[in-house]
Amino acid sequence: MAFQRNRATQPRLQALGLPMTLLCVILGAALLAPWASDWGLQDIDWEAIQAPPSSSHWFGTDMVGRDLFTRTMAGARTSILVALIATSISLLIGILWGATAGYAGGRIDLLMMRVVDLLYGLPFILIVILLVVLFGRQPYLLFASLGAIFWLDTARIVRGQALRLRQADFVQAARCQGYRHTYIIVHHLLPNMRGPLLVCTTLTLPAIMLAESFISFLGLGIAEPNTSWGTLIADGTQSMEAAPWMLFFPGTLLIGCIWCCNTVGDRLQNQVSEGSHSLGKSHLRTPTR
């Protein structure tokens, strides 16, 4: 058994390597960029307005002569940060909701999951757009609203796990010993669904990244003086005929990042569902665009 298992997981671990490495490279470059580049975020090179990539401007410059490498990496930091914060929020809501429903079971479960079903049917990106338009482009609003709409998948998965685990002997034992429900959920249920939670995280991250770029593209997300991949891509499309590099670099990085996250998520999902058949046929991926 051990031998078989080993053989089954070996190639997947290797395959995890490439996207993981790419992700680390992008992240590392984004974090180290301020020291690698001679140009500041708003520095204008009057000698090189909309210049193609060269040795002094690795990614070229934009229409007012700002260094695109610096800006793309700053955009990377923003986009990744937004994705991380919003994902944490969505995980938090999803775990709370799903674990409560699954652990409580019965009528509470039915009611809470009905709410999730109902919310699935709503055009949520529209609500985020509305929120951002109506209440101004504050970053924290963007984090919160993105996080608040991507928790449904997490809630469903966590609920399924909790439903399965609450019958387990060690949970029953803890209950007999009189531990409080919150204690049991935090100390017995959650640690036992680390795998599925990891999968949720890796598949929520790219979805939120997509949504953020979508909203920034419409001119509603991250605003000057800050920048994000979506904002840069929007600028890039404006001048893609004259300066295709303005679309190419942020675009490639965004696609690469999402591809890596998706691939890592898929492999993890395969491994996790192989272990416990727990994720079942629930398909996490719902592209948002």
* DSSP helix/strand/coil, 61: strand
Q: Which span (10-18, 57-65, 93-101, 239-247) binds other proteins, by CB under 8 A?
A: 239-247
Residue of 282, 257, 286, 275 whose CA lies nearest to 24: 257
* Residues 109-138, mask of contacts with other proteins (x by CB under 8 A): --------xx-xxxxxxxx-xxx-xxx---
Q: Which of positions 188-227 make contact with other proteins (CB under 8 A)? A: 206, 210, 213-214, 217-220
Place of tokens 């999968």: 199
Q: Which of 154, 202, 262, 269 binds other proteins (CB under 8 A)?
A: 262
Cβ at position 183, least distance to other proteins in Å: 34
Taking CA atoms, 11 is separated from 23, 25, 245, 262, 267, in Å, by: 19, 22, 36, 18, 10
For residue 76, give the H/E element and its range: helix 68-104
Q: Which span (49-57, 64-72, 88-96, 279-287) binds other proteins, by CB under 8 A?
A: 279-287
To the nearest 10 degrees (0 to 180), the angle between helices 68-104 and 229-238 is: 130
Phi, psi angles (nearest 5°) of residue 77: -60, -45
Cβ at position 238, least distance to other proteins in Å: 9
- Asked if 24 and 210 touch (Cβ cutoff 8 Å), the reply is no
Q: Which of positions 129-188 make contact with other proteins (CB under 8 A)? A: 129-131, 133-135
Residues in contact with other proteins by CB under 8 A are 117-118, 120-127, 129-131, 133-135, 206, 210, 213-214, 217-220, 230, 233-234, 236-237, 240-241, 244, 247, 251, 254-256, 258-259, 262-263, 281, 283, 285-289
